[in-house]
């Protein structure tokens, strides 16, 4: 750690980090290749988290690297406000083919949080354009994570992400979450029980009236709050209720898109097509920040046909469709397709689940949930110290050469899609050893 004197660490106010704890004992990553990071002491660390759920194609992918460096020689930056550059159109056309149904228009952002706020704003503007301006209410879900913008934390359902930041957006309500351990723990894939939880939307419609509700936003699979898999039939039912009541359905697929579930998206896997889909992360393999909101034909058409000003949507970012991000996204999608990474992830789902669920009898383990190449391992909390065991386990795994994410006392695994069985076995063995060590 010689090159990092303590006072050098102070200036960077780290996001979602226990700053004081980290700076006493930093975990410093200095390079990465394939499935592994290298940290400052030279040790190799298996990336069981794909960075922050974003490096789906693995680190240092040569095609992505080349696309970005080539693009730098052509065009470093161009605005997409009243001007354009060809790559952004090319990427939008690629995404139009890539995603299912008629999710065929792309609005570009630079992050998942921006994608969420963009989708919420499009929903409100769309309802107004349709002459339904009374539909201003947004419905999220308990235990939802939709990033950190004011829109996202308002519809989100994580107490700590909300409680420090005032009164948030007005006119927001929340569905119940879908985790029901009383109906079964250690479930591989979608729980068979719980589709009726979608009827909670009927309760909110009865309370507020559908004529006040613009949109419902859910993560098809809640990632950050501990990997909550949708019960069989739940999202289908939510779609049905939204259709019956003129409410838009937004999927936040920031984690679940780009191969995480062995498909382009949860929408494709389940054949439930939302009206708007927020994506980011795996779009560029995390290499250049970028997000994309996909909108169905009827959304775009309404906005174009009913516009009351030459600019149809008063929204956008300096970096919407940034050339380097577009180059990275096109190369990332090409890598996914050419190397059949989603097929690989789909094939590995069973292998991954089998090994991870092998931890059922490990110390501290209360539940394990898995779907695609995602797993949540829920630990019994320490008495009076919720989250302490999760953090201790993350540190123990790191000491043994595996990076995992944790949320409270839930460990989340989301390795790069090309992970092989050998690495899965080694990852699981490290977690077992760490569970044995941690109090
Ligand atoms: N929606 C979802 C579903 C997410 O998971 C965001 C929006 C926001 O994306 P940005 O790019 O603004 O961060 C996310 C982000 C974790 C973890 O450890 C998860 C996220 C980010 C950082 C850590 O679970 N998800």
Among the atoms of ligand 1, which is closest to the Cα of residue 252? 3
H helices present in 84-111, as ranges: 86-98
| H-type alpha helices, 229-322 | 234-244, 266-270, 297-305
Ordered structural domains, the chain, with CATH: 6-57+340-437 (3.90.1150.10), 64-338 (3.40.640.10)
Q: How far is ligand 1, taken at its centre, from the CA of residue 357, in Å?
A: 25
Q: Are 251 and 289 in contact (CB under 8 A)?
A: no
Per-residue pLDDT at 3 = 58
* pLDDT reported for residue 38: 98
In angstroms, the CA 398 to CA 413 distance is 13
Instruction: Give the residue ranges of the chain where pLDDT is below 70.
Output: 1-7
Which residues surround ligand 1 with Cβ inside 6 Å? 52-53, 111-113, 116, 145-147, 219, 223-224, 252, 254-255, 280, 405, 407, 412
pLDDT tens digits, one per residue of 59-103: 999 999 999 999 999 999 999 999 999 999 999 999 999 999 999
236 CA distance to ligand 1 middle (Å): 24
- Per-residue CA distances from 113 to 54, 253, 254, 255, 307 (Å): 14, 12, 9, 12, 26
The partner residues of 217 in beta bridges, in order of sequence, read: 250
The answer to pTM > 0.85 is: yes
Question: What pLDDT score was predicted for residue 265?
Answer: 98
> Where does 170-211 have alpha helices with state H?
200-208
Closest of 220, 317, 201 to residue 266, by C-alpha: 220
Question: Residue 20 is inside which H or E element, if any?
Answer: helix 19-24
* CB-based contact 105:303 (threshold 8 Å): no
Instruction: Give the pLDDT score at 7.
Output: 65
Position 5 scores a pLDDT of 57
């Amino acid at each position: 750690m010689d090159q990092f004197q303590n006072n050098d660490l102070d200036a960077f106010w780290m996001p979602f980090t226990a700053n004081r704890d980290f700076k006493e004992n930093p975990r410093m990553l200095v390079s990465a290749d394939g499935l592994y990071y290298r940290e400052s002491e030279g040790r190799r660390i298996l990336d069981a988290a794909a960075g922050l759920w974003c490096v789906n194609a693995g680190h240092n992918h040569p095609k992505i690297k080349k696309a970005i460096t080539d693009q730098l020689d052509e065009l470093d930056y161009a605005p997409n406000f009243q001007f354009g550059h060809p790559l952004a159109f090319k990427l939008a056309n690629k995404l139009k083919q890539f995603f299912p149904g008629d999710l065929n228009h792309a609005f570009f952002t630079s992050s998942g949080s921006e994608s969420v706020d963009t989708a919420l704003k499009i929903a409100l503007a769309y309802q107004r354009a349709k002459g339904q301006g009374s539909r201003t209410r947004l419905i999220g879900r308990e235990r939802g994570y939709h990033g950190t913008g004011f829109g996202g934390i308002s519809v989100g359902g994580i107490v700590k992400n909300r409680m420090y930041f005032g009164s948030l957006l007005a006119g927001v309500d929340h569905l119940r979450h879908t985790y029901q351990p009383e109906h079964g723990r250690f479930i591989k894939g979608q729980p068979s029980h719980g589709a009726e939880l979608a009827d909670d939307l009927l309760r909110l419609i009865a309370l507020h009236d559908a004529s006040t509700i613009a949109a419902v936003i859910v993560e098809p699979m809640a990632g950050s709050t501990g990997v909550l898999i949708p019960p069989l039939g739940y999202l289908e039912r939510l779609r049905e209720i939204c259709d019956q009541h003129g409410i838009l359905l937004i999927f936040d697929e920031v984690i679940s898109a780009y191969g995480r579930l062995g498909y382009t998206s949860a929408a494709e896997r389940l054949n439930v097509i939302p009206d708007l889909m927020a994506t980011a992360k795996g779009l560029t393999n995390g290499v250049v920040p970028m997000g994309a909101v996909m909108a169905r034909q009827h959304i775009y058409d309404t906005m174009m046909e009913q516009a009351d000003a030459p600019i149809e949507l008063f929204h956008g970012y300096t970096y919407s469709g940034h050339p380097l991000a577009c180059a990275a996204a096109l190369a990332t999608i090409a890598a996914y397709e050419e190397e059949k990474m989603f097929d690989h992830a789909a094939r590995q789902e069973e292998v991954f689940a089998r090994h991870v669920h092998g931890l059922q009898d490990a110390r501290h383990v209360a539940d394990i949930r898995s779907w695609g190449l995602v797993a949540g391992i829920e630990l019994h909390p320490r008495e009076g110290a919720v989250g302490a065991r999760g953090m201790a386990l993350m540190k123990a795994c790191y000491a043994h050469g595996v990076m995992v994410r944790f949320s409270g006392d839930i460990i989340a695994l989301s390795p790069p899609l090309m992970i092989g069985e050998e690495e899965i076995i080694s990852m699981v063995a490290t977690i077992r050893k760490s569970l044995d060590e941690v109090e």
